Amino acid sequence: MIRLNTALVLLPISIACAAGTASDRTPASESTDASTTASASREEIEVWIVLSEPALSSLPRDAESQRAELRRRILEEQDRVMRRLAELGAVESARTQQTRNAIAVTLPAAAIESVKKIDGVTAVKTVSHRNRVGR
């Protein structure tokens, strides 16, 4: 009940703030051009960065020493690439080593071409199913 009352009180304030006054507004043509340019430069996308070391599943489960060594190399590669991605403005959201060697990040769309040039990156794939359940 309290949440509903708070929302009803804040709703008129939100509407008033969003409406602004005539002196707050810029001409429509200026506003559209400036906002389009600004939003394009700030647009962020979610991608999987696929890396060159093979996934752990490429080795048999009983190959413990080889799997340990591969896991060390995967983690080292992921850390190195993530440092470079962070320099480009990327924020990490996930990593995977078992089925593929990849890092999920959100980053500025303008950085994609630079990401593709990082040593060890083999592919950049757009996240299409965030919470997909296996079939």
The pLDDT of residue 72: 98
- Quick: pLDDT tens for 39-67: 455 799 999 999 999 999 999 999 999 99
The pLDDT of residue 42: 73
Q: How far apart are CA 68 and CA 104, in angstroms?
A: 23
Q: How far apart are CA 5 and CA 11, in angstroms?
A: 10
Domains assigned to the chain? 43-126 (3.30.70)
- Quick: pLDDT tens for 90-126: 999 999 999 999 999 999 999 999 999 999 999 999 9
SS3 107: strand
Q: What number of other Cβ atoms are within 10 A of residue 43's Cβ? A: 10
Q: How far apart are CA 65 and CA 85, in angstroms?
A: 30
Query: Would you place residue 127 in the very low, low, confident or very high pLDDT band (cuts 50, 70, 90)?
Result: confident
